[in-house]
């Protein structure tokens, strides 16, 4: 009997290991029920990128966030040609574009062949209209994620200020 | 460099041939294209209602089905209550006008024209005969085209069918279309869809609600003034209001002519003009800013020329569809050029 339940849960686990598991790693979707996750999966766009293919360029219209299902993506500044971050499976980027209309502030390039899931503003707005409960859940989590990022940026600014103060102290 | 140039040339030639084939094919099946366009516009108008039902916990399919049941109910009620009235008015229009005062009035106008414009060679106009003939023809046309045309029955079956699936699976259709776009243009295509949905969708919904409000106002006003075909005029004025500029004037003109023919005097016509002016003022000051706001902003001259061109090319349907079509082109061109300039979207 226990073997049966073990296999049963393994089966459930295997099912979860796919796209659902990746979505559950994203803070924006973490508190969603399985039914709500299915709704999200239906509105996601899946795109395949080849190695070194540009996902979006700095200055392009930003419409939403990308979730990496497979592969590695580099975020880089076009002018300085320097890599800001290297993201892998389960990571996400571009979530700010879900809220504002500003152009992309950096470029994203696939370092290896990649499969991305795209969650865009028109679909989010549509979702808010037809399923306000789910829409507000996502918006709340999105606000939380951006708040967390702001906190970490504040910490970094504080550290930098301390370093700068120390340096000016030394030179004086 | 030469290879790159020839590659671009091949691409342009290929897409041009593809575009020509598409245009030829669409022209060949123009009646189906017309049905699809009308259905798409109706689906656009009804989409927020389906969203509202969905937000109350229904699935998309049941929300769409619920809307169809409600519309069928409304049509059923209208058929029982309003159609006999409309049919009676059209039949009466078909039989022509025979009140004596109309004949007196028309002959008085004819005398006036002949005596004052004889230097232009105006003689024996036979206005009354012509008017009765044209009235009967208008009635025949309306009877033939609005009430019992065989093609209309086909459309009446096909349009709801297409509307149902466009409403139910519209998102999947859009997603499937976006999925075939190259990676470089996929986000921009979605952005265009988003812009079109908000701007054209708002415009169509606004115009539709506006037409209903103007129609109700017109029916009520004409009934109050005492015009004989108040319901027919009101419905016509409401529908005509869908065509910018020309619609409201045509609606008012029909009412004025019918009121002159009914009474043989200008007093009722004056009341009709006042009523339509008030309706137009009310529409421009209150209804339009509230309902048609946030839609495509187009210069009045663009709208006017678009309506004229649409009318010339495709008749009344062209006049109705010209503004959304030009709005669509405006959004696509504007966004395309803006993004090309601002963000430097390059051809692959």
pLDDT at position A116 is 94
Q: What are the φ and ψ backbone dihedral angles of B111, each rounded to 5 degrees?
A: -60, -45
**Angle of CA points B215, B220, B221, to nearest 5°:** 95
Q: What are the φ and ψ backbone dihedral angles of A10, each rounded to 5 degrees?
A: -60, -40
Residues of chain A positioned with their CB less than 8 A from the CB of B197: 122
Task: Choose the weakest-confidence range: A98-112, A149-163, B15-29, B166-180.
Answer: B15-29
Q: What is d(CA A149, CA B320) in angstroms, rounded to the nearest whole number?
A: 50
Position with higher pLDDT, B132 vs B17: B17
How many CB atoms sit inside 10 A of residue B90's CB?
19
Share the mean pLDDT of chain B. Answer: 77
**3-state SS class at A86:** strand
pLDDT at position B105 is 65
Structure tokens at B321: 């569809």
Residues of chain B positioned with their CB less than 8 A from the CB of A66: none
**Residue of B55, B339, B342 with shortest CB distance to A130:** B55
Residues of B at the A interface, defined by Cβ within 8 angstroms: 48, 51, 54-55, 171, 175, 178-179, 183-184, 186-188, 190-191, 193-194, 197, 339, 342-345
pLDDT at position B322 is 81
User: Are the beta carbons of B159 and B35 closer than 8 angstroms?
Assistant: yes
The whole-angstrom distance between A36's CA and the closest CA on chain B is: 13
Residues of A at the B interface, defined by Cβ within 8 angstroms: 43, 45-47, 49, 53-57, 59-61, 63, 103, 118, 120-122, 126, 129-132
Q: What is d(CA A114, CA A55) in angstroms, rounded to the nearest whole number?
A: 10
Q: Which residues contact B273 (CB under 8 A, 6 or more apart)?
A: B252, B256
HSE toward the beta carbon, residue B18, CA cutoff 13 A: 6
Q: Record the pTM.
A: 0.70
How do residues B33-59 score in pLDDT, each as one tens digit? Answer: 778 888 888 888 888 899 899 888 888
Q: Which residues contact B208 (CB under 8 A, 6 or more apart)?
A: B45, B242
User: Are the beta carbons of B244 and B252 closer than 8 angstroms?
Assistant: no
Q: Are strands A54-56 and A107-110 parallel, antiparallel or unpaired?
A: antiparallel
Q: How far apart are the first and last CA of chain A?
A: 76
Tell me if A122 and B193 make a contact (CB, 8 A cut-off): yes
Structure tokens at B170: 């519209």
Would you mind telling me the total number of residues written for chain B in this entry? 348
**Angle of CA points B338, B342, B345, to nearest 5°:** 85
């Amino acid at each position: 009997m226990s073997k049966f339940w073990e296999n049963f849960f393994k089966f459930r686990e295997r099912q979860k290991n796919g796209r659902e598991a990746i979505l559950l790693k994203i803070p924006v979707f973490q508190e969603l029920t399985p039914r709500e996750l299915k709704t999200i999966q239906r509105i996601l766009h899946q795109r395949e990128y080849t190695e070194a293919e540009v996902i979006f360029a700095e200055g392009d219209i930003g419409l939403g966030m990308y979730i990496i299902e497979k592969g590695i993506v580099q975020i880089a500044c076009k002018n300085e040609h320097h890599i800001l971050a290297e993201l892998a499976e389960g990571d996400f980027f571009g979530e700010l574009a879900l809220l504002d209309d500003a152009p992309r502030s950096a470029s994203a390039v696939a370092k290896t062949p990649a499969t991305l899931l795209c969650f865009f503003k028109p679909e989010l707005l549509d979702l808010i209209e037809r399923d306000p409960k789910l829409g507000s859940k996502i918006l709340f989590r999105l606000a939380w994620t951006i708040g967390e990022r702001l906190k970490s940026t504040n910490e970094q600014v504080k550290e930098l200020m301390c370093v700068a103060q120390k340096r000016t102290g030394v030179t004086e | 460099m030469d290879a790159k140039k020839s590659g671009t040339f091949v691409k342009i030639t290929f897409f041009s041939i593809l575009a020509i084939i598409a245009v030829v094919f669409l022209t060949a099946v123009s009646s189906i294209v017309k049905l699809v366009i009308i259905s798409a516009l109706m689906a656009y108008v009804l989409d927020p209602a389906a969203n509202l039902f969905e937000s109350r916990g229904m699935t998309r399919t049941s929300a769409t089905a619920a809307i169809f049941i409600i519309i069928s109910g409304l049509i059923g009620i209208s058929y029982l209550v309003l159609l006999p009235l409309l049919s009676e008015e059209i039949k009466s229009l078909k039989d022509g006008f025979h009140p004596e005062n109309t004949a007196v009035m028309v002959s008085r106008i004819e005398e006036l024209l002949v005596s004052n414009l004889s230097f232009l060679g105006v003689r024996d106009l036979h206005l009354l005969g012509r008017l009765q003939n044209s009235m009967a023809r208008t009635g025949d046309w309306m009877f033939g085209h609005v009430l019992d045309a065989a093609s209309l029955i086909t459309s009446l079956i096909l349009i709801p069918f297409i509307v149902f699936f466009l409403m139910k699976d519209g998102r999947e259709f859009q997603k499937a279309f976006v999925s075939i776009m190259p990676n470089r243009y996929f986000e921009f295509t979605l952005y265009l869809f988003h812009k079109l949905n908000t701007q054209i969708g708002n415009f169509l919904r606004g115009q539709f609600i506006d037409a209903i409000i103007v129609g109700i106002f017109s029916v009520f006003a004409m009934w109050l003034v005492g015009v004989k075909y108040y319901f027919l005029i009101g419905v016509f004025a409401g529908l005509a209001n869908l065509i910018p500029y020309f619609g409201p004037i045509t609606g008012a003109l029909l009412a004025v002519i019918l009121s002159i023919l009914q009474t043989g005097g200008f007093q009722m016509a004056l009341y009709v003009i006042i009523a339509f002016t008030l309706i137009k003022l009310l529409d421009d000051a209150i209804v339009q800013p509230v309902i048609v706001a946030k839609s495509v902003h187009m210069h009045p001259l663009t709208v006017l020329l678009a309506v004229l061109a649409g009318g010339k090319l495709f008749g009344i349907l062209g006049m109705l569809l010209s503004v959304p079509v030009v709005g669509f082109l405006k959004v696509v061109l504007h966004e395309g050029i803006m993004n090309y300039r601002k963000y430097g979207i390059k051809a692959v």
